[in-house]
Structure 1
Amino acid sequence: MSISLEDVSMPLKIHVTGKVVAVENFARYTKESRSDAIKMVSKLLGVCIEEAEEEMNISKGLTVRKCWLKSQWCPKAGSRNTNYPHVECTARAYLLYLLSCTLFADKSGSRVSIALLKLLEDLDDVGKYAWGAALH
């Protein structure tokens, strides 16, 4: 017996039809893909290039750590600086964390693929993706 799209859609209430959940840019680690990933993290999560680069150095790959990602939307009391990210950047950080903990968990349990961030670039499109079909 195999899992059908309906088995995914019904209990989770997520779309199984819509835009394809696919990102090609970050499939392989190269200097160019790393540079593109750093720029994307900086732009979409509202952090400076240096902070994005430092995080990717720590996480060793085209990933960021979940603990760092969580700090982007849930700063500790008193540590919030004047350059607090915009609401959209905060929403992206939260959604990326949520996706990495539920639908796209990896073996490490502590890192998040930057490829998923590309899917959150336009927040108006997030609900149009076939998230359930991606799980099938």
Structure 2
Amino acid sequence: MSISLEDVSILLKIHVTDKVVAVENFARYTEESLSDAIKLVSKLLGVSYEEAEEEVNISKGLTVRKCWLKSRWCPKAGSRNTTYPHVECTARSYLLYLLSCTLFADKSGSRVFIALLKLLEDLDDVGKHS
């Protein structure tokens, strides 16, 4: 027996009638899925395709490192970089980091699955997820 959404609703008094949190995972590590993941990171986090490709290659999978993700919204003190990324890209990187540390933590503790980024594609819909 498993916990249902109805159980969650009754026990925690959480409204569970909105959108379900579900993403199509990049099921297989193929050249096509790798390319799609890199494009998604580049588009939604506001980095160049080359930077996204380098990060995905460093993390060795369809993931990005949490330390790289954190650097997208929390520059090091004393950093000479005075340019700030677009507000939505910064918000996505921060929310993705929070999701990866809380609800969708993996056993590595240092990587974030790129598939979770699809949940944050439209920031107006984020509050509608159950």
Structure 1 runs not aligned, ≥5 long? 131-136
Partner Cα distance (1:101, 1:8) in 2: 24
Which TM-score applies when normalising by structure 1? Answer: 0.84
Contact 1:25 1:33 in 2 (8 A): no
Partner Cα distance (1:50, 1:8) in 2: 47
Structure 1 residues 127 and 58 mapped into 2: Cα distance closer, same or farther (>3 Å)? same
Partner Cα distance (2:65, 2:126) in 1: 22
Structure 2 runs not aligned, ≥5 long? none
Within a 5 Å distance, the mapping from 1:1-136 to structure 2 comes to 3=3, 4-6=7-9, 9-10=12-13, 15-24=15-24, 26-79=26-79, 81=81, 83-130=83-130
Deviations along 1:18-42, one digit per CA (max 9) or x if unpaired, are 1122222512211111101101101
Q: Which has the higher relative contact order, 1 or 2, with Cα contacts under 8 A spaced 6 or more apart?
A: 1
Which TM-score applies when normalising by structure 2? Answer: 0.87
Equivalences, count: 127
The aligned amino acid for 1:87 is V
- Report the Cα offset of residue 81 of structure 1: 3.0
Deviations along 1:40-73, one digit per CA (max 9) or x if unpaired, are 1011001111110111011111100101100000
- Report the Cα offset of residue 104 of structure 1: 0.5
- Report runs of 4+ in structure 1 exceeding 2 Å deviation: 1-4, 6-10, 77-84
Let me know the Cα RMSD of the aligned residues: 2.0
Partner Cα distance (1:7, 1:27) in 2: 33
